[in-house]
Amino acid sequence: MTTRRQFLGAAALAIGAASTRVPAASGRIELAATDVHVRGYPTVEALRWIGEQLELETDGRLGVRLYHSGQLGRESDLIDLARFGAIDIARVNMAALNNPFPATRVLCLPFVFDDTAHMRRALDGAVGREILGHFADRDLVGLAFYDSGARCLYNTKRPIVTPADLHGLKIRVPPSDIFMHLLRALGANPTPLPYGEVYSALQTHLIDGAENNWQSFHTTRQFETARFWSYSRHSYSPEALLLSRRRFDALRADDRERLLDIAQRSVGYMRSLWDESERSARDYVLAHGVQANDVDRGAFERAVAPVVARYRDDAEVDRYWRGIRDLSGAA
């Protein structure tokens, strides 16, 4: 959990960043954009692309100043900083949005998506548009969804084939009640930690494992310690690209349209980077000795069914769930 002191530290850094982003004389506006990932990661490169397009299309009047690698703090803080207008753009994962924005929950539920193609169809369609609209409820503008691949389990101890294999393992989860409930239903001991602390937590044996996509596993070098990857594909929890409502309102009307349009166009660019980097991250870690195995998907689905049922008791979650499942297998 973030202490008040940690949050104020992040806010001070962000406000420092914000104060450099509008050099008055030139009239140029630099949008401060944040991401917890490193340079070269598809989400970071998509933000860079947005900056380049903005520069091109406004003759340099608008641009993006990128704070990658978690320089301005953890995702839950970045969401608040964007809401308060201390930063402009926050690229964060849906898991960090589940608690403040209940409409996002369905996107993290286990096994709601069959695969990446299914997730993309749902995000590009009516359900995606509606959920993106919900960010306006709390001072944000939902610009776009990005991919985050299939989250799978990995650990330092053994291959996980059925939920029974997770018994007694401490597995790191992102700050979302859904992930707590999910890992508990699978028999693990869920341990919430910020993304930036997972690598050292694995090394110091504070945790036995975590769950994420190939690219995060690779770029954080967690694969050096966690040598067992199990293809659970339990959640596709996508990424969100969010803009501070204050910044949006302060832009010229034509710049607002331009930014919305460029952000939407960045999705195709991000997806092509994503597909390529997913393959190369997987090949890299497998070539470096990580052992991968399939799981008993039926056993996993049965174990988490009560969690899904509990969330579907909520009428809105249930409506979205059915909307997404209707797109399963659609061409």
Mention every residue, 6+ apart, whose C-beta is less than 8 A from residue 170: 188, 189, 191, 206, 207, 208, 209
* Bridge-based pairing state of the strands 239-244 and 89-93: antiparallel
Q: Which stretch binds ligand GTR (CB under 6 A): 58-66, 99-107, 154-162, 210-218?
A: 210-218
Residue 320 near residue 311, CB atoms below 8 Å: no
The residue at minimum Cβ distance from ligand GTR is: 93
Phi-psi region of 229 (alpha: psi -120 to 50; beta: other; left: phi over 0): beta
Binding of ligand GTR by 93 (CB under 6 A): yes
Tokens 């036995």 label which residue? 208
Measured CA to CA, the distance from residue 152 to residue 2 in angstroms comes to 26
Instruction: Identify which of residues 54 and 240 has a Cβ nearer to ligand GTR in the complex.
Output: 240
Q: Which of 31/150 has CB closer to ligand GTR?
A: 150
Q: Is residue 212 close enough to count as binding ligand GTR by CB under 6 A?
A: yes
Toward ligand GTR, which CB reaches closer, 11 or 36? 36
Q: Is 159 helix (H, G, I), strand (E, B) or coil?
A: coil
Q: Rg of the chain over CA atoms, in angstroms? A: 20
* 277 burial via Cβ count (<10 Å: 0-12, 13-18, 19+): buried
Give, to the nearest 10 degrees, the angle between helix 177-185 and helix 297-312. Answer: 140
Please report, as residue ranges, which positions from 10 to 69 form the binding site for ligand GTR (by CB under 6 A). 36
Interhelix angle 42-57/253-287, nearest 10 degrees:
150
Per-residue contact string for residues 133-152; x = within reach of ligand GTR by CB under 6 A: ---------------x----
- For residue 146, the minimal CB distance to ligand GTR (Å) is 8
Q: How many CB atoms lie within 10 A of CB 252?
A: 12
Residue 75 CB, shortest distance to ligand GTR, in Å, is 6
Per-residue contact flags (x/-) with ligand GTR for residues 223 to 252, judged by CB under 6 A? ----------------x-------------
Rule CB under 6 A: say whether 195 interacts with ligand GTR: yes
H-helix or E-strand containing 135? none
For ligand GTR, the closer of residues 62 and 191 by Cβ is 191
Q: Residue 116 or 216: which CB sits closer to ligand GTR?
A: 216
Instruction: Give least dist CB 326 to ligand GTR, A.
Output: 26
Segment interacting with ligand GTR, rule: CB under 6 A, options 76-84, 92-100, 154-162, 200-208: 92-100
The interface with ligand GTR within residues 68-87 (CB under 6 A) comprises 75
Our CB check for ligand GTR shows the closer of 92 and 107 to be 92
* Comparison of 29 and 68: residue with beta carbon closer to ligand GTR: 68
Rounded least distance, CB 91 to ligand GTR, Å: 7
| Backbone torsions φ then ψ of 4, nearest 5 degrees | -60, -40
- 108 to each of 50, 56, 214, 236, 311, how far by Cα in Å? 26, 36, 17, 6, 11
Nearer to ligand GTR, 132 or 198 (CB): 198
Footprint of ligand GTR on residues 265-304 (CB under 6 A)? Answer: none
State the residues that interact with ligand GTR by CB under 6 A. 36, 75, 92-93, 95-96, 148, 174, 195, 212-213, 216, 239
